């Protein structure tokens, strides 16, 4: 069944290349990290910048809110993780986390953990209650680890996407993967979990121009989403509506029905390549980070 979608752009801001976006759950804020080494917090209600900080001369590929601490955590190409208080923008911590570019930082929803993934092929677990000690290193990928996503149902496990063409499933208490999905013919850029009507699924996005939906318990591909004409760089499930959202270097965002897998809409905001997609729980808002800026859209039907 096709959906009649209403999509309204609520915020657009031009900038240098946006590598990641994150939405604050309580404030009208979008956190963006830029290829230029800067992080910004935009207020999408006032359409104004709240804060901006030059972090490094290297690209910042990932920045996330740690809301319960009033922090942001930032991973950059200089292999350093930095933590700032987002009220004062005071630096809380800085440490060398990897030996190559940091592609992703992900915050655990309950525990005092941050996962980081890198071009050094490693994933690392950091515990801020143990003075940001690395408490586990996860090895198994043979190429850059582009993204990690924590399982929202079973928060003791997570998934990773790598340019080695596989997605791997891990437990926090083991340094080796539980299993791998030989997912695509080319490298993976992104991965996310989503809950279907009967069970939980995984979605992956690849340089083969497709996204795939997986029953990862049975380790089988349920459907291949074909519609993009370049690398798929971002995937997520809409937090409230039965929609899968994919972003691509072709400059478009595709919206798919999460049950029928039908392509419902294609968005093109004219901001060139799409690098990141973020959503806020209990909201119809979705943010996109692109070569030439950031867009916040509200999707309903």
Is 46 domain-assigned? yes
pLDDT tens, residue by residue, 2-55: 678 899 999 999 999 999 999 999 999 999 999 999 999 999 999 999 999 999
Cα–Cα distance, 209 to 64 (Å, whole number): 26
The residue whose two tokens read 């867009």 is 295
Query: Across residues 104-114, what is the average pLDDT?
Result: 98
Is 101 domain-assigned? yes
Is 135 domain-assigned? yes
Residue 129 predicted with pLDDT over 80:
yes
Is 40 domain-assigned? yes
Please check whether residue 287 is in contact with residue 296, taking contact to mean a CB–CB distance below 8 angstroms. yes
Please check whether residue 241 is in contact with residue 301, taking contact to mean a CB–CB distance below 8 angstroms. yes
Query: Across residues 101-116, what is the average pLDDT?
Result: 98
pLDDT tens, residue by residue, 73-102: 999 999 999 999 999 999 999 999 999 999
Cα–Cα distance, 32 to 128 (Å, whole number): 22
161 φ, ψ to 5°?
-125, 135
Average per-residue pLDDT for the chain? 95
pLDDT tens, residue by residue, 152-173: 999 999 999 999 999 999 999 9
Provide the pLDDT for residue 200: 87
Provide the pLDDT for residue 1: 55
183 or 192: whose pLDDT is higher?
192
Residue 94 maps to which CATH number? 2.130.10.10
Structure tokens at 271: 């901001």
Cα–Cα distance, 168 to 178 (Å, whole number): 7
Is 106 domain-assigned? yes
Residue 221 predicted with pLDDT over 80:
yes
3 state SS of 28 = coil
- Alpha carbon of 215 to those of 26, 68, 120, 186: distances in Å? 33, 32, 29, 20
Which stretch of 53-57, 184-188, 280-284 has the lowest confidence by average pLDDT?
280-284
Please check whether residue 33 is in contact with residue 60, taking contact to mean a CB–CB distance below 8 angstroms. yes
Q: How many residues does the chain have?
A: 301
Work out the percent of the chain whose per-residue pLDDT is above 70. Answer: 99
Query: Across residues 65-75, what is the average pLDDT?
Result: 98
Is 87 domain-assigned? yes
Provide the pLDDT for residue 216: 84
Please tell me the total count of domains within the chain: 1
Which domain, by its residues, includes 217? 13-296
Cα–Cα distance, 24 to 14 (Å, whole number): 20
Query: Across residues 230-259, what is the average pLDDT?
Result: 94
Cα–Cα distance, 196 to 276 (Å, whole number): 23
Q: HSE-up of 118 (CA within 13 Å, CB side)?
A: 25
Is 143 domain-assigned? yes
Provide the pLDDT for residue 188: 98
Is 6 domain-assigned? no
Cα–Cα distance, 74 to 115 (Å, whole number): 11
Cα–Cα distance, 249 to 272 (Å, whole number): 7
Closest C-alpha to 238, from 148, 300, 167: 300
Structure tokens at 261: 């897998």
């Amino acid at each position: 069944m096709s959906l009649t979608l209403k999509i309204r752009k609520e915020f657009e801001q031009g900038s240098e290349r946006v590598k990641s976006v994150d939405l604050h759950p309580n404030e009208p804020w979008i956190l963006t990290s830029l290829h230029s080494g800067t992080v910004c917090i935009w207020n999408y209600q006032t359409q104004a910048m709240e804060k901006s900080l030059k972090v490094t001369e290297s690209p910042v590929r990932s920045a996330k809110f740690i809301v319960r601490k009033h922090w942001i955590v930032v991973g950059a190409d200089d292999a350093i993780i930095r933590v700032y208080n987002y009220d004062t923008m005071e630096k809380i911590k800085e440490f060398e986390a990897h030996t190559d570019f940091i592609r992703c930082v992900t915050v655990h929803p309950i525990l005092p953990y941050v996962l980081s993934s890198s071009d050094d092929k490693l994933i690392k677990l950091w515990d801020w209650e143990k003075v940001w000690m690395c408490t586990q290193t996860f090895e198994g990928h043979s190429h850059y680890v582009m993204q990690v996503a924590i399982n929202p149902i079973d928060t003791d496990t997570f998934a990773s996407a790598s340019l080695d063409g596989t997605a791997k499933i891990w437990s926090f208490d083991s340094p080796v993967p539980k299993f791998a999905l030989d997912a695509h013919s080319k490298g993976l850029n992104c991965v996310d979990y989503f809950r279907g009507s009967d069970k939980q699924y995984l979605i992956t996005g690849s340089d083969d121009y497709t996204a795939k939906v997986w029953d990862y318990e049975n380790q089988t591909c349920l459907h291949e989403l074909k519609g993009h004409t370049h690398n798929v760089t971002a995937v997520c499930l809409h937090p409230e509506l039965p929609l899968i959202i994919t972003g691509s270097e072709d400059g478009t965002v595709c919206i798919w029905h999460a049950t029928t897998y039908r392509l419902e809409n294609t968005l093109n905001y004219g901001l060139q390549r799409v690098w990141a997609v973020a959503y806020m729980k209990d909201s119809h808002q979705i943010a996109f980070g692109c070569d030439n800026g950031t867009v916040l859209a509200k999707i309903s039907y």
